[in-house]
Structure 1
Amino acid sequence: MRRSMLSALTLAFALPAAAAVWQGGDLGRFFAARAESGNLLEGCTDVPEAVALATELRDRALRIERYLEALDVRKAELAAAEAALKARAAELRQQKSGLQTRRDTASSEVRADIDRLVAVYDQMKPAEAAAVLTNLPPDFAAEILMRVQPETGARIIASVEPRQAALLTAQMGARSVQND
């Protein structure tokens, strides 16, 4: 008796599954327990707790969907902002490179100008150079004196009045300390 009952139960479960497979259906869909929003309350509308729970679940599902949509929008905004920042950073790097190139060019031009000026003072007589240097700002005059040939610089300082010579020497010492 038990065997015949077991056979009957097997047939009862296997027959619908075979029919679903034969019709091209999905077995998972056939056996899955589904709760759709339309028939979630089917047969339970007279139980207030079930109605309240279903309403709460539906509201939560809507809030979650809205939250996920907001997250997607925010992700898109962040991706756009990130792309804009990367583009701006690349632009700034390019500008920085251009500025550095211009600075290097300007700096080399200034050095060339100073070298020509120093060469002029190297060729001048010490007394003439001293007369011109005393009329220049002390820091500029000290810069020139530090760049001329040492013996020429010594002759120029010797030709300057002692007070001015002391000021120029102090400026030259201060410049030496700043460069170290």
Structure 2
Amino acid sequence: MRRRGPRTLALVAAVLLLSAGLRVSDNRAGFGELLSGWIGAAQATPTIQTEPDPEAENSFLAALQARESELDARALELAARAQEIAAAEDNLRAQLRRLEEAEADLAETLQRADGAAEADVQRVVAVYENMRAANAAPLFEQMQPDFAAGFLIRMAPDKAAEILAAVDASQAYAISAIMAGRNARAPRQ
């Protein structure tokens, strides 16, 4: 038995399709009309204009020139903005430098002031330490307890004990409570 190739199948399919097309076309329109419409459409050639249209060229050229003018104006505007931004950046850098210098000066001034204040406090502590306890006690009784506690904490423990012993009992209790609780709220870790 001989094998039939794909060409035979394609031929049978084409015949079946042609038959179906004839039946459908009989119902709607003549097959000849349908076939002539397909052939006529295939033979029709599009018309190509070979001469340029001067009016279309002029309008296209005018549109290009208008767009170029717009782009040139935008480029000038962007260049002006870039100059303004560069000037603002320079101004900002100068202000930042002045601010950093002022901050450094302020930090130095605060450090000197803190050092001077600490030196002053140490002098007063030294004065109280060199006083007899009986003479210093009336002064500590007049102070606010937290203020007095600040001085006593800076003193040598034996001298602070002598002064605290000479102070009124209620004032001594308040000062002691403040001294004991000064670091109670400090973070442990």
Give the TM-score normalised by the residue count of structure 1: 0.68
For the pair 1:152 / 2:155, whether they are aligned, the reply is: no
Per-residue CA deviations over 1:120-174 (Å, capped at 9, x if unaligned) read 1111122322210121222221110100110111122222222212211222234
Cα distance in structure 1, aligned partners of 2:153 and 2:130: 15
| 1:58-137 map, 5 Å | 58-137=65-144
Any conservation in 2 of the 1:44–1:51 contact (CA below 8 Å)?
no
Structure label with greater radius of gyration: 2
Any conservation in 2 of the 1:138–1:171 contact (CA below 8 Å)?
yes
Gaps in structure 2 of 5+ consecutive residues: 1-50
Cα distance in structure 2, aligned partners of 1:67 and 1:92: 37
Percent of pairs with identical residues: 31
Cα distance in structure 2, aligned partners of 1:122 and 1:153: 8
Gaps in structure 1 of 5+ consecutive residues: 1-42
Residue 57 of structure 1 corresponds to which residue in structure 2? 64
My pick for the range that moved more, 54-63 or 146-155, is 54-63
Cα distance in structure 1, aligned partners of 2:185 and 2:91: 43
State the Cα distance separating 1:93 from its structure 2 match.
1.2
Any conservation in 2 of the 1:127–1:156 contact (CA below 8 Å)?
yes
Cα distance in structure 2, aligned partners of 1:59 and 1:136: 87
Residue 172 of structure 1 corresponds to which residue in structure 2? 179
